[in-house]
Amino acid sequence: MNQLLTIFNGSSIFSKIDLCGAYNLLRIKEGDEHLTCFRTKYGSYEYLVMPFGLTNAPASFQNLVNDIFYDLLDIYVVVYLDDILVFPKSEEEHVTHMSTVLSRLGANNLFAKVSKCLFHVTSFEYLAHVVSSEGLKIDQAKVQQILNWPPQRNLKALQSFLGFANFYHRFIKTYSKKISSLTSFLKRDSCFPLNEEALRQFHQLKEPFTIAPILSHFDPSLPTIVEADASDYALGTVLAFDSHKLLPAEPNFEINDKELLGIVWALKRQRAFLLSISSLFEVLTNHSSLQYFMSSKIHTCGQARWGKFYLNFISQSLTTLAAWPPFRMLCH
């Protein structure tokens, strides 16, 4: 899902098409209808078209729309199930692109629900974010939900709140630190209600959501720097805000391994951005010895796995394929 929100740079006009019927537009393969049989007091019935709720319904429908727009995806069309987004670079392109998209929908007997469509708008709600030419921001309706959330009285309620808040963690600086006391209550033997420190964090966490910044659209043509850092209890990275509480065994790592883990984790989290650029990117760290990691002896299985992970980024440099490492390490 995050990858769908990384490709709007340069677009200022958008149109969103919501398909009518969605899964019901798919015909079940002849001979397999009996697999959908259900019984009522009036008798047994079989579906002829794909019903909502089947395990493979989303994947099957996504494959259908991907096949229809295969040559337009990520160029000026993004498709997420029954939501089709058109993001041209200019008004002139918008007319042409919309004509192409609507023609393909008509040719494949797919129809839009006009009441849910948006045409020629400068901002819109998409995948629980507000998208505009400026960038991404949190939907204000979701912010209000967080502000109105009552303190949690049991584990299930806490999991529900953190799951909701975690969805927007990229907008909140040092997010993992801000929820450290709350996450300690996720253990099975934790006793509720929340203690004073956890309640304080719960109420303080709400404020950053009200002042969350607009995240600019990623521009792969500009120089890219990933900043990574590690502490005794958490990892952090900056390209968009991101942080992660260390697992129980990870605080015992040597500082070299913690800092290296921070870089590997940062590359994994920002992978959608980094693999979209064609030039070398830079990694900023405050641990100078990591510059020599790939040329020094690897001592542990963990280090070997992390070194192997770097291979994912070699082919992204079109001009220096033989360069190693595939990014430049900066120290400060």
pLDDT at 2: 66
Structure confidence by residue, pLDDT tens digits, 245-294: 777 777 778 777 777 777 788 778 777 777 777 667 777 776 666 665 65
pLDDT at 236: 60
**Superfamily for the 225-331 domain:** Ribonuclease H-like superfamily/Ribonuclease H (3.30.420.10)
Domains 2-132 and 225-331 share a fold: no
pLDDT at 176: 82
H, E, C per residue of the chain: CHHHHCCCCCCCCEEEEEECCHHHHCECCCCCHHHHCEEECCEEECCCECCCCCCCHHHHHHHHHHHHCCCCECCCEEEECCEEEECCCCHHHHHHHHHHHHHHHHHCCCCECHHHCEEEECEEEECCEEEECCCEEECHHHHHHHHCCCCCCCHHHHHHHHHHHHCCHHHCCCHHHHCHHHHHHHCCCCCCCCCHHHHHHHHHHHHHHHCCCCECCCCCCCCCEEEEEECCCEEEEECCEEEEECCCCHHHCCHHHHHHHHHHHHHHHCHHHHCCCCCCEEEEECCHHHHHHHHCCCCCHHHHHHHHHHHHHHHHCCCCCCCCCCEEEEEC
pLDDT at 320: 31
pLDDT at 46: 92
pLDDT at 181: 83
Low-confidence ranges of the chain (pLDDT < 70): 1-3, 231-241, 278-279, 286-299, 310-332
User: Which top CATH class is 2-132?
Assistant: alpha beta
pLDDT at 188: 72
Q: Structural domain boundaries of the chain?
A: 2-132, 138-210, 225-331
Structure confidence by residue, pLDDT tens digits, 205-253: 888 888 888 888 877 777 777 777 776 655 665 556 677 777 777 777 8
pLDDT at 298: 63
